[in-house]
Chain A
């Protein structure tokens, strides 16, 4: 159960990061969001 909640939480963070990436106007923040997104996406896909 706790693992399921953990993955839901990861997916929520992925959604937030994508939303922020789309809304962002500053290029440095865009790069930051794009890079931070990677490990969370890999975790949601259960690859790492």
Chain B
């Protein structure tokens, strides 16, 4: 064998080893699933494809946790993971799934709404693949994904995304943004089909109120707020007053713009009978002016650059050396969801929903999110 041939074999072997190392990490990201414990209140785990068969067997299919109460009442749907890089909504849903007892009514939960987005990070953003929450018995890990559907599952993007059915023009990549695709399209892209499936679920299960959980960067004006469809504004107003009066949570309320299409708080309210609401907390890892992007920033929300931006008056939320820790963000969401449900129940007593055993803001801050996570069986 000549020297040239030996050299070529060595170079290509080295290249293959590097490809295996990188490919292994990509494969883990594509296939990993965090364990979720079926809490005492969960009666059924359905699939989103049960409501729209076209997504069966695709990455768009995702679990729907159904919690039936002892007494009949209203039905609420809590969606998170529509944007997989907004983690406090996912953790809030997991706290509900693993802890809540439903006394009256029904609660449906979709923790990983855009399942495809959880299999990718955003190119160039240095997103960590996963994050870990410490508990008294060990730790739990969760996927940290991209805001958009993985381009491996939906490609290519158009130059301009024309929203169906409004005809509104949006950025091309937003065709992979689940919260720009509602009410969805039966024969559309994967993301449109997922949105369509959620809309079908709301219709078939006769969901009275839908709460979509999100996070926003501190430099974005729609933050620490509730966005409500015009039919749901009363619910948001009551919730805001109670959150402020009883828990000291400063939260805004905003009317869903009638001409901004594709979002849950607009389209689900327009195309179904549900009261559509969306809640936002502050997630510094999404901010373009952030510094080092790692798990620590994701969980503590501490960042010197954002702190500086705050001192320059560039932020839309109060921000100090304590950052925006995940316990605070999840606590805001649990209290907001509980208060929206309470407000709905007061306004519509014939459809009352009563939930117990879900921690509120002060409890989550005092004990931490990890305190409320159950220990899964088997290997993590």
Contacts and interface: CB of A to CB of B under 8 A. Distances in A.
A2 B158 CA distance: 12
Given A42-B22, A45-B23, A48-B26, A37 B15 contact: yes
B156 interface: yes
Given A21-B8, A38-B19, A2 B26 contact: no
B220 interface: no
Contacts of A41: 19
A25 B4 contact: yes
A27 B7 contact: yes
Contacts, number: 41
Interface in A4-48: 6, 21-22, 25, 27, 30-31, 34-35, 37-38, 41-42, 45-48
Contacts of B7: 27, 30
Nearest to B155: A3
B23 A30 contact: no
Interface residues of B, number: 17
Contacts of A46: 152
A42 B19 contact: yes
Interface SS, B side: helix
Given A47-B26, A47-B27, A47-B30, A38 B15 contact: yes
A31 B120 CA distance: 29
B245 interface: no
Interface string B237-269: 000000000000000000000000000000000
B26 A31 contact: no
B8 A30 contact: yes
B312 interface: no
A2 B156 contact: yes
B11 interface: yes
B23 A48 contact: yes
Interface of B: 4, 7-8, 11-12, 14-15, 18-19, 22-23, 26-27, 30, 152, 155-156
18 contacts: A2-B156, A3-B156, A6-B156, A22-B8, A25-B4, A30-B7, A30-B8, A30-B11, A34-B11, A34-B12, A37-B15, A38-B19, A38-B22, A42-B19, A45-B23, A47-B23, A47-B27, A48-B152
Given A37-B15, A42-B23, 19 more contacts: A2-B156, A3-B155, A6-B155, A21-B8, A22-B8, A25-B4, A30-B7, A30-B8, A30-B11, A31-B11, A34-B11, A34-B12, A34-B15, A42-B19, A47-B26, A47-B30, A48-B22, A48-B23, A48-B26
